[in-house]
Every structure is written in structure tokens, then in C-alpha cells.
Chain A
Amino acid sequence: MSEFLQFILAGMTVGAIYSVVALGFTMVFNASGVVNFAQGEFVMLGGMLTVYGMALGMPYSVAALFAVVATSLISVALYDFAIRPARGAPVYALIIITVGASILIRGLTKIAFGTGPRDLPPLLGDEPVRVAGAVILPQSMLVIASTLAIYLCLWLLLQKTLLGHAVVASANNRMAAQMVGIDVDVMTRFSFSLSAAIGAFSGILISPITLVSYDMGTMLALKGFAAAILGGMGSPLGAILGGVLVGLSEAMSAGYLSSQYKDATAFVIIILVLFVFPNGLVGKSGHERV
């Protein structure tokens, strides 16, 4: 039993990380129809820039704020200098642009900070908490809790505020949104910076668990993308569900089957789910009725 609980806790921790990356994908996808493969790099930048800030002598909180703001600005720059000028291009071209951006960010990070892994101190100490024979790090609980908090804030923002409505409107129909006086560019820019801020923030939280290195973004983007597809691209709830499911299936197959098949199992589950729900667990159908 304690074994099962341990696998659940491990799966939830990893799942929360995937979820928050998937949330970032969702934000940008909704705002621009682009799958932003640089999302994993935003997570990495969050951790890396915080390490850098602290090395410069900033306190933890200031360094974290600096990392979040800087990453948002990088994301806005990505939109303004790479995505926006190519707006007429087909979506796959835009996706390739984001892949290029992720390679660029990775390369620059490597040159600036080197290839060695870095570490951030945990916020709540590193003494694991014991729950019925299983253990979980306080930092892991923090990651899970803040993923839920991010989801709730996003939901409130999009459903309950004027700003949120404007973002949703620009995403649904650019032309119509413009006609009712919404500055669509500003809204897209807002989505890009928010997704980067979320990524960077979670990067800071997960760094004490996973460590941070210049190339960690690739794997996160891949797993986060899988989670987003599983949950249904474009749905924040789907991102959360998808991430947790991928995380749990990895932990369960590593625990009960064999770690050799860990990744394979996760992807088999994704394929099976997509057979039954072609648009993901909670995704909407791609066809709209006229």
C-alpha cells in the first residue's frame, strides 16, 4: 500500500510539472493557434535566471521576480520579432519558428551559463514529509499546490474579468474582436508573456527538485505537449488532467512494470485515449458549425 502511495506521489509531482508546461502551451495556442515549442525553455530560463540573479547577490525573491519578468520579455520579443512578422504563414511554419527559437535560447543559455546543472535551495526545507509509509518533499507539495493555484487564477482571469474576455475574444475571432475595439496584438502579446511567466515561475519551483540545466526544456516541452494533446489542445482543464495522467502512468509503469517501458507506456496510453476521444479528454471538436 505504501508502495502504491509512493508511486502516486511521484506521479503527481512529475504530473504537476507536465501540467504547468501544458498550461503554457494552451495559453499561446488559444491566443495565436501556434504550439510554442519554446515553452520548455521558458521553464528552464526561470530556474537558470534565478540562479544567475542569486549569484549576482540578489535575494531569492528578487532574483525570482527578475527571472519571471525577463522570461516574459523574451517571450514578447519572440512574438514581436519572429511570430508576428510571419503571421500570414501557415501554422506549421510558425511552429517551426518556435522550434528555432527554442534552439536559439538553449544555445545562448549554454554560452552564457555553461552546460553544468545548477541547483536552487528548496523553499520549505529538504526534509521529506512521511505520509502513511510514503515520502514526499515539501517542495513537491508546493509544486502541486501552485499548479492548481495557477490553473484557478487562469480560470478566474479568463472567465471573470474583462481582460480575460478580451483575450478569449481575440483568440476566437480576430476580426470581430478588432471591430469591437480590442487591440488584438496587445492581447496576443499578453498571452505570450503570461505563458512565459507561468513557465518561468514553475521553473523556479521545480529547480530544487529536478535541478536546472540548459537542455532540460526539450524533454519538458515534449512531455508537456503530450499532456496538452491528451487533455485536449486549448483546454486549461485538459492541460491539468493530461499532465497528471502522463505523470501517473509513467510512475505506475516504472513501479509495477519496468522502468525500461516507462515512456513507451505513457505514449501508448495517449494513443489509446486519442482513439476514443480524438480531441483529447476535454477538448472541443475542431469543426465549428456555421
Chain B
Amino acid sequence: MKHIGIFALATAVALTLSSGVATAADPIKIGAIVSKSGPASFLGEPQDVTLRHYVKKINDAGGLLGRPLELVLYDDATDANVARTFASRLVDSDKVVAVIGPSTTGVTLAIAPVFEDAKIPMISLAAGVEIVDPVRAYVFKTPHTDRMVCRKIAVDMKARNFKRVALLNGTDGAGKTLRSECLVIFKSVGLEISADESFNPNDSDMTPQLTKIKNLPGVDALLIGGFGQALAVVTRNYGQLSIKTPMYQAHGAASQTYIKLSGKASEGVRVTSPLLVIVDKLPDSDPLKAGALEYAKTMRAITGAEASTFGGYSYDALMLIVNAIRKANSADPKAIRDALEVTRGFAGVTGVFNMSKDNHLGIDESSFYMVDIRDGGWKLAQ
């Protein structure tokens, strides 16, 4: 009897051990937290669609390192507390090897420490420069930062010899960060801030703010920041008051919906735009064109709408992780992190990624364009 007992114990131990060791068919678990609902759902929805589609596509093609990918995706409802719970779950019970998301800067900053402590690499899909500055060992991101947007706009304004700028920003996260970044950068290049006004994302009329700006003497340009329908409402009011001062919008407005909702008032508005929006206008020699066109086509086939640049961020994040796993030939979180950090010349749909120890974003302003709205479509500026 005693022998049988020992034998049973040994078998149990052996079984436990073997289940802990990855067999060839064990899936590689990749976590994702996106804002599929809540105020930032316009970010999270395309990201959700993108991730699900491409993980399936990779699996159909045989997976990675001979193992299938498993996507563990949670919707944080644009709420940092909810995201925090899911972050712990991804680390403790799902035991993922890498994480994509979250969609917004605020939520990213709230949960980044969780993955930093657990030593699991995460690639945020949010714009805030503070996500990767200062650099944290396990935290990366794919979208251009607001600082880049402001620098791009500042350069353009200087080139047009503008001196005085009026700011009108939403009180939402996107408007606030753009405002704080642009204030610093505009001042540093010698642009004068004539007005610094704001609006609520749900406001229905911005004519008081615009009238005030219109009546200021010598304003050369107007910069609007924020997201959603408010941008279209501002543009309409701008048209109604027949303001002639050139208007700049950040990439929140870089969508066909914005043009459609703003109507003819949007004619001539200059927008900083990620590549996806104007991909068909780029020369065929552009190294990013083929990939971005393919992504845009795939998304249009799935959703029936134009591809969202926000979805593009998640595409890049997923492909960066896939690339890192291949390069490292391992699905170990530390190995993935190390491989991510040495990513060089990786062509995504947002830009070419060149990561380094001090740069966990990897893309620069060259994959970012100034475009004008002309006849209800996009046109590269100049």
C-alpha cells in the first residue's frame, strides 16, 4: 500500500510539473485592454476589431513559433479603476506574456506600474508623451505624441510667418494635453498666444469663444484641440461667423466623419494627420504605403467604414510584439521586452519604428503630415 501511495504522489507531481511546462501546442497569451466603451470608445472600437482580426489571421497562418496566439481582451470602459483590475487579472490569472493598450493616456499612466512591476512588456495606444518620458523598462507606445503634433504645427506656422496664435481647446483629455504641450512649444519658438479659450466636449455652441477671438486684433492662426463632435461644431460656428483666420486642427479631426459633419466650413482647414488618412496620396516609393493600404482595405472590408488611425496604433502594437517574439525566438516576457527595445526599421502603418534604450516610441515626425481639406477631401499641404 505504501508503495502505491508513493507512486500516486509521484504521478501527481509529474503531472503538475508537466502542465507547468509549455508544450508545443500551448497558446502564447497576449493581453489587451482597450476602451471599447465609455467616452473614448471611438478609440477602443477600431482597436478591438483590429486586434481580433489580425490575431485570427496569424493563427490561420499557423501561429507563432509553432504555437497559436491567444488574445485576452478586456474593455476598460475608459475607466482607470476598471483597467487596474483587468491589469492585475492579466498578470495574476491570465499570465500573459505581453500587453497591448490601453487606449488613453490617463488609463495608461494608471496601470503602467502594474506591468512594470510584473516585468511584462506593454505597448500603449495613447498619445501622451509622459508614457515614454521618462523611459520605463517595460513600457512602450505606438502613436505620435502631442508634442510632435505641436512641433509640426509650430514649424508650419513659422514657415507661413505667423506670429500670433489663438488656442481653443476642449476640456477633455485630448484637448488638455494638446493645450499644455502647444503652450510650451509655441512660446519656445517665439509664437505669441493671443487667446487661450476652451469648450466642453458636449457644448452645442462655441460662437462666444470664437467671436471673442475674431475681435482680437492681429490673430494670425487658430488652433483647435479636442475630439469628437465638438470639433465639428467649432468648425461650423467658425464658418457661420465667417472667420477668415486660418484654422489648424490636431489629428483628432483627421477623419472623413469630421469633414462630413463640418460641411463646407471645413474647407481649407489644416490638419496634422497620421499616414493612414492620406495613404492613397503618397508616392508608391514610400516604404509604408503598401502596408498601410492593405490595412486600410482590410478594415474597410470588415467595418464598411474608412480605416481609423486609432485602429492602426493597435495593429502596429500587435505586429511589434509578433516581430519581437519571432526575433527573440521566445515567448518569455523579458525576451520580448529585450527584442522590442532593439526593433529597428520596422514598418508599421503609423510610421517606421526605431526603438532604443532611450526611445520607447520609435517613430518620428516624418510619418506625420500636414494636410488641407479641399473639396471635401484631403490634400497634402504645399
Instruction: Show the binding face of A for B, using Cβ within 8 Å.
Output: 3, 6-7, 9-11, 13-14, 17, 110, 115-117, 119, 126, 128, 135, 137, 206, 209-211, 213, 215-216, 218-219, 250-252, 254-255, 258-260, 262-263
Interface of chain B residues 180 through 202 with chain A (CB within 8 A): 197-200, 202
Asked whether B211 lies within 8 Å of A6 as measured between CB atoms, the reply is yes
List CB contacts (< 8 Å) of B183-229 with chain A.
Answer: 197-200, 202, 204-205, 207-209, 211-212, 215, 228-229
* A10 lies within 8 A of B197 (CB): no
- B209 x A254 contact (CB < 8 A): yes
One of A135, A210, A255, A263 near B240 (C-beta < 8 A): A135
Q: Which A residue sits closest to B204, measured CB to CB?
A: A210
- Inter-subunit contact A251/B208 (CB<8 Å): yes
Q: B260: which of A11, A119, A210, A252 is its contact (CB, 8 Å)?
A: A119
Q: Of B11-19, B38-46, B108-116, B351-359, which binds chain A?
A: B38-46
From B197, B202, B257, B263, A258 is in contact (CB under 8 Å) with: B197
Question: Which residues B229-281 have CB closer than 8 A to chain A?
Answer: 229, 232-233, 240-242, 257, 260-261, 263
The docked-state distance in angstroms from the alpha carbon of A245 to that of B37 is 34
* Chain A residues with CB under 8 A of B37: 110
A211 touches B261 (CB 8 A): yes
Which of B198, B207, B212, B229 has a CB less than 8 Å from the CB of A213?
B229
- Which one of A7, A119, A216 contacts B208 once the chains associate, using CB atoms below 8 Å? A7
A residues in contact with B257, CB < 8 Å:
116-117
- In the assembled complex, the Cα of A105 lies from the Cα of B232 at a distance in Å of 25
With A3-B211, A135-B241, A251-B208 as known contacts, state yes or no: A215 contacts B197, CB within 8 Å: no
Q: How far does the Cβ of A130 sit from chain B's closest Cβ, in whole Å?
A: 9
B residues apposed to A, CB below 8 Å: 37, 39, 41-42, 45, 168, 197-200, 202, 204-205, 207-209, 211-212, 215, 228-229, 232-233, 240-242, 257, 260-261, 263
Bound CA span A213–B229, Å = 8
Nearest-Cβ distance from residue B116 to partner chain A, whole angstroms: 31
B229:A206 contact, CB within 8 angstroms: no
Residues of chain B within 8 A (CB-CB) of A206 are 204
Contact flag A126-B197 (CB < 8 Å), given A10-B205, A213-B228? no
Q: Which residues of B contact A116 (CB under 8 A)?
A: 42, 257
Residues in chain B near residue A7, CB distance under 8 A: 208, 211
In the complex, 11 of the A-B residue pairs with CB atoms within 8 angstroms, ordered by the A residue number, are A6-B211, A6-B241, A117-B232, A117-B261, A135-B242, A210-B229, A211-B229, A219-B200, A251-B205, A251-B207, A252-B208
* Of A14, A213, A216, A255, most B-chain CB atoms within 10 Å: A255
Q: Which of A206, A250, A252, A262 has the most CB of B within 10 A?
A: A262
Residues on the B chain within 8 Å of A255, using CB: 208-209, 211-212
Residues of A within 8 A of B215 (CB): 3
Q: A14-B204, A135-B240, A259-B209 are in contact. Are A119 and B261 (CB under 8 A)?
A: yes
Residues of A within 8 A of B198 (CB): 259-260, 262
Q: What residues of chain A lie closer than 8 Å to B228, measured between beta carbons? A: 117, 213
CA gap between A90 and B66 in the complex, in Å: 62
Q: A13-B204, A110-B41 provided; 17 other pairs, C-beta below 8 A?
A: A3-B211, A6-B208, A10-B205, A115-B42, A117-B257, A119-B260, A135-B241, A137-B240, A210-B229, A210-B233, A211-B233, A213-B229, A251-B208, A255-B211, A258-B197, A259-B208, A259-B209
Closest to B171 in A: A260
Q: Are B202 and A216 touching (Cβ within 8 A)?
A: yes
Q: Are B208 and A115 in contact (CB under 8 A)?
A: no
In the assembly, what is the distance between CA of A14 and CA of B208, in Å? 11
Q: Which residues of A contact B211 (CB under 8 A)?
A: 3, 6-7, 10, 255
A110 to B37, CA, bound (A): 9
Q: How far is the CB of A269 from chain B (nearest CB, A)?
A: 16
Question: Chain B contacts of A213 at CB under 8 A?
Answer: 228-229
Chain A residues positioned under 8 Å from B45 (CB to CB): 115
Question: In the docked arrangement, what's the CA distance between A210 and B240, Å?
Answer: 14
Q: Let me know if A219 and B205 touch, CB within 8 A.
A: no
Partner of B204, one of A17, A135, A263: A17
Q: Are the CB atoms of B229 and A117 closer together than 8 Å? A: yes
Contacts of B241 in A (CB 8 A): 6, 128, 135
Sorted nearest first, the 4 A-B pairs with minimum C-beta distance are A210-B204, A117-B229, A219-B202, A254-B208
Among B209, B232, B240, point to the contact of A211 (Cβ < 8 A). B232
Question: Which residue of chain B has the shortest Cβ distance to A17 in the bound complex?
Answer: B204
Residue in B197, B199, B240, B242 with the greatest tally of chain A CB atoms within 10 Å: B240
Q: In the complex, A254→B229 CA distance in Å?
A: 19
A116 and B258 alpha carbons, distance in the complex (Å): 10
Q: A110-B41, A137-B240, A259-B197 are in contact. Are A13 and B205 (CB under 8 A)?
A: yes
- Chain B residues within an 8 Å CB radius of A263: 200
Is the Cβ of B205 less than 8 Å from the Cβ of A209? yes
Q: How far is the CA of A251 from the CA of B204 in the complex (A)?
A: 11
* A218 (CB) vs chain B CBs: closest residue: B202
Bound Cα distance A77, B260 (Å) = 35
* Cβ-closest chain A residue relative to B207: A10
Residues of B near A219 (CB, < 8 A) are 200, 202
Residues of B within 8 A of A110 (CB): 37, 41
C-alpha gap A117/B207 in the complex (Å)? 20
Contacts of B204 in A (CB 8 A): 13-14, 17, 206, 209-210
Chain B nearest CB from A206 CB (Å) reads 7
Bound together, the chains give a CA A155 to CA B261 distance in angstroms of 37
Q: Is the CB of B41 within 8 A of A115?
A: yes
Q: How far is the CB of B16 from chain A (nearest CB, A)?
A: 44
Q: In the complex, which residue of chain A has the Cβ closest to the Cβ of B197?
A: A259
Inter-chain contact A14/B205, CB cutoff 8 Å: yes
